[in-house]
Homo-oligomer: A and B are copies of this chain.
Amino acid sequence: MPVPFSSPDPEPAVPSRRELNKAATRQAITDAALGLLRSKGPGNFTVEDIADAAGISRRTFFNYFGSTDAALASIVHGFLDNAIQQLRLRPADEPMLESAQAALVALADPKAIAPLAELFTLTQQSPLMSHTELEAWDHCRAQVFTVARERLAGTPGAQDELYVHALAGSIISCGKAAMEVWFNRRGPDLSPASLAELRKLLIDAMALLGAGFNTTASPSATRSS
Chain B residues with Cβ below 8 Å from A163 are 208, 213, 215, 222
A156 within 8 A of B: yes
Residues of B with C-beta under 8 A to A216: 157
A222 touches B177 (CB 8 A): no
Chain B residue contacts of A42, Cβ below 8 A: none
Q: Which of B131, B168, B208 is within 8 Å of A131, CB to CB?
A: B131
**Contact (A166, B178) CB under 8 Å given A213-B210, A222-B158:** yes
The yes or no answer to A180 lying at the interface (CB within 8 A) is yes
Q: Does A130 sit at the interface, judged by CB under 8 A?
A: yes
Copies in the complex: 2
Cβ of A69 to closest chain B Cβ, rounded Å: 10
Question: In chain A between 153 and 174, which residues have their CB closer than 8 angstroms to a CB of chain B?
Answer: 155-158, 160-163, 165-170, 172-174
Nearest-neighbour CB distance to chain B for A72, whole angstroms, equals 15
A52 contacts B by Cβ under 8 Å: no
Asked if A209 CB lies within 8 Å of chain B CBs, one says yes
Among A81-97, those with CB < 8 Å from B are: 96-97
How far, in Å, is A182 (CB) from chain B's closest CB? 9
Encoded as 1 (CB less than 8 Å from any B CB) or 0, chain A from 208 to 225 comes to: 111111111010001100
Q: Using an 8 Å CB-CB cutoff, how does the interface string of A133-166 with B read, 1 for contact, 0 for none? A: 0110010010000000000000111101111011
- Whole-angstrom CA separation of A210 from B215 in the bound complex: 11
Question: Roughly how many angstroms separate A161 CA and B215 CA in the complex, as a whole number?
Answer: 13
Q: Give Cα distance in the complex from A162 to B211, angstroms.
A: 14
| Contact pick for A215, options B156, B174, B204, B222, CB 8 Å | B156
**Which of B134, B161, B209 is the one whose CB lies under 8 Å from A166?**
B209
The distance from the CB of A197 to the nearest CB of chain B, in whole angstroms, is 11
* Chain B residues near A156 (CB-CB < 8 A): 215
Residues of B within 8 A of A215 (CB): 155-158, 163
User: Is A176 interfacial (CB-CB < 8 Å)?
Assistant: yes
30 A–B contact pairs at CB < 8 A?
Answer: A96-B213, A130-B135, A130-B138, A131-B131, A131-B135, A134-B134, A134-B138, A157-B215, A158-B215, A162-B177, A162-B205, A162-B222, A163-B208, A163-B215, A165-B176, A166-B174, A166-B177, A166-B208, A166-B209, A166-B213, A169-B176, A170-B170, A170-B174, A170-B209, A170-B213, A172-B173, A209-B212, A209-B213, A210-B212, A211-B212
